[in-house]
Amino acid sequence: MPLIRREPANKMEPAGAVRQSAAVLRSGDVHERWQAARSLAAEPEAAGILGEALATEHDARVREAIFTSLIRLGSDESVEAVIPHLRSDDPALRTAALDALREMINTVRPRLPALLADPDPDIRLLCCDLVRELSAADATELLCGVLERDPEPNVCGAAIDVLAELGTPKALPALQKCAARYRDQGFLTFAIKLAAERIACQDTSS
């Protein structure tokens, strides 16, 4: 009995297809790189390759395609590939990375406490916005932690902005303590007052 192939003889091995796309992603022209980035959405092992390409890719459209493929893969490796780019000097890359993490929030979630305690205040500030994607209860818990310990007013400001949208009454004590800490800061005083007012409305409704 002749050998029955399950797949066509000319089908490329998955590893071969990934290697080829990775090579194109490094050295093709802008059109080829765009297509290569898109095609890697189908290859689970490609997250690392896509992440590396982000470091050197300058075309905004190819970069967008790389992020879209990472999101479609949506794995732990995808999240790990994206997180380092939050530290980029390029604001376009930073915000694209944040946008991507937002769309993978369930996979990012276990890493949020560490991100919110990162030594770099810029990282802490950016990641406060990711908390917006969580439930009101989870967001409140995480952001109260930020308010209680963060030494940077801008980070506290970012946390308060999210609490103003979805904080629960459990946030009120942390907000008051923060207000006392930053009594001399016009914006924070204003923001805390507004956030507390909005949250207090919840007490009077069911």
Partner 1 sequence: MDDPPPVTTDEFRRLCEFLYRRTGMVFKEDKRYYVERRIRERIRATGSTSFTSYFARLRSDFRGEAEKLVNAFTVNETFFYREDHQLRCLTTDLLAKRIAAKPRGDPLLIWSVPCATGEEPYSIAIWLLEHWPEVDAYDVEIVGSDIDTQVLEVAREGIFGKRALIRLSPELIAKYFVPIDENSWRIIPELRQSVRFSSANLMDTAEMRAHGRFDVIFCRNVLIYFDESSRRIAAENLYENLVPGGYICLGHTESMSRISPLFEVCRFSDAIVYQRPLEGP
Partner 2 sequence: MDKRILIIDDASLVRLYYRDALQRAGYSVDEAMNGLEALEKLLVTPADLLLVDINMPKMDGLTFLKSLRRQPMPLAATPAIVVSTEAAPQDVEAARRAGGNFYLVKPLTQDTLTRYVGLCCGIKS
What are the residues binding partner 2 (CB under 8 A)? 60, 89, 91-92, 94-95, 98-99, 102, 122, 125-126, 129, 153-154, 157-158, 160-161, 164-165, 185-188, 190-191, 194-195
Query: Which of the listed partners (partner 2, partner 1, none) does 64 bind, with a CB threshold of 5 to 8 Å by partner kind?
Result: partner 1
Site of tokens 């590893």: 15
Secondary structure letter of residue 116 according to DSSP: T
Query: Which of the listed partners (partner 2, partner 1, none) does 33 bind, with a CB threshold of 5 to 8 Å by partner kind?
Result: partner 1
Distance, in Å, from the CA atom of 94 to the CA atom of 132, rounded to the nearest integer, reads: 18
* Other Cβ atoms within 10 Å of 91 Cβ, number: 8
Nearer residue to partner 2 within complex by CB, 48 or 190: 190
Nearer residue to partner 1 within complex by CB, 114 or 169: 169
Nearer residue to partner 2 within complex by CB, 8 or 91: 91
Query: Which of the listed partners (partner 2, partner 1, none) does 201 bind, with a CB threshold of 5 to 8 Å by partner kind?
Result: partner 1
Q: Which two tokens stand for residue 146?
A: 């930020």
Quote the Cα angle for 144-150-154, to 5°: 100
Nearer residue to partner 2 within complex by CB, 28 or 121: 121
Minimum Å gap between C-beta 181 and partner 1 is: 26
Residues in contact with partner 1 by CB under 8 A are 30-31, 33-35, 38, 59-65, 68, 71-72, 92, 99, 102-103, 135-136, 165-166, 198, 201-202, 204-206
Minimum Å gap between C-beta 203 and partner 2 is: 21
Distance, in Å, from the CA atom of 69 to the CA atom of 22, rounded to the nearest integer, reads: 13
* Burial of 89: CB neighbours in 10 Å, binned 0-12, 13-18, 19+: exposed
Distance, in Å, from the CA atom of 67 to the CA atom of 37, rounded to the nearest integer, reads: 9
Nearest to 88 by CA among 114, 38, 61, 51: 51
